[in-house]
Amino acid sequence: MRTPLIAGNWKMHKTLAEARELVGGIREGIKGIGGVEVVICPPFHHLFAMAKAIDDSPVMLGAQNAHYEAQGAFTGEVSVPMLKDAGCTHVILGHSERRQYFAEDGPLLAKKVRAAVAGGLNAIFCVGETLQEREADRTRRIVERHISDVIKADVPAERLIIAYEPVWAIGTGRTATPDQAQEVHAFVRAMLASTYGQPTAEAVRILYGGSVKPGNAADLLAQPDIDGALVGGACLVPADFAAIIKAAGTWAAVSS
């Protein structure tokens, strides 16, 4: 059985004082919840402080991006060794906002994913279609391209996590139905099976992202190929994030 993972992408939010308050609320809210892994992904400049804030708790630390080089003249970038030094175990790569606003594409992301896993981080690699692409019945084609551009047999599957995030559902309040999400998750797993073989594909966790909230988390997580969530806005509210984590823990307990 795959252990569910709930990751919170803080994006460009929270001052240091607000971040400490948020982590305190999360720690309090998840007491007694088991069977689920939790990752918070704050902005870069909060990483060291948040590593201290989650010390002696089950919460893990992730970053929102990484460069593919270990060091060099790359102003404004952060390397995998730097993230490891800050206490990170995970990194989000290929988020739709990085693709849209910073023109990140397949060849670049292929280098980033390889650098992350080679450097000992778990890569949360994001894929997903826009509303225009979904309405044109191109969802599978877009997801297939995102995965085939980056995920090759030489990428260690044990450090790979896929996050399916339909772009039309990110921050819009719209959410894919459980059936819609499951259909794409199953397609992603089939693609992973064609690359790694079925047993390995069955071990890779595939998260859903896109307006995940306490009210819809349980129905999404009940789907057979949805192994957790990459949460945006709701992760900034301790009670909401804890409720999503609790839903994952409850699902894990029922499924075990």
Q: List the beta strands (DSSP E) in 65-152.
A: 90-93, 122-127
Grouping H, G, I as helix, E, B as strand and the rest as coil, residue 160 is: strand
- For residue 189, the one-letter residue type is R
Q: Which of 37, 97, 104, 165 is catalytic?
A: 165
d(CA 158, CA 47): 24
In the residue annotation, 185 being an active-site residue is answered as: no
Phi, psi torsion values for 234, nearest 5 degrees: -65, -20
Closest CA to 244 of 93, 94, 37: 37
203-238 core/surface letters (b: 16 or more CB in 10 A; e: else): ebbbbbbbbbbbebbbebbebebbbbbbbbbbbbbb
d(CA 67, CA 56): 29
d(CA 246, CA 237): 14
In the residue annotation, 90 being an active-site residue is answered as: no
Grouping H, G, I as helix, E, B as strand and the rest as coil, residue 55 is: coil
d(CA 233, CA 213): 9
Q: Which of 95, 97, 129, 146 is catalytic?
A: 95
Phi, psi torsion values for 10, nearest 5 degrees: -75, -15
Quick one: 72 exposed, middle or buried, by C-beta within 10 A (0-12, 13-18, 19+)? Answer: exposed
Catalytic residues: 95, 165
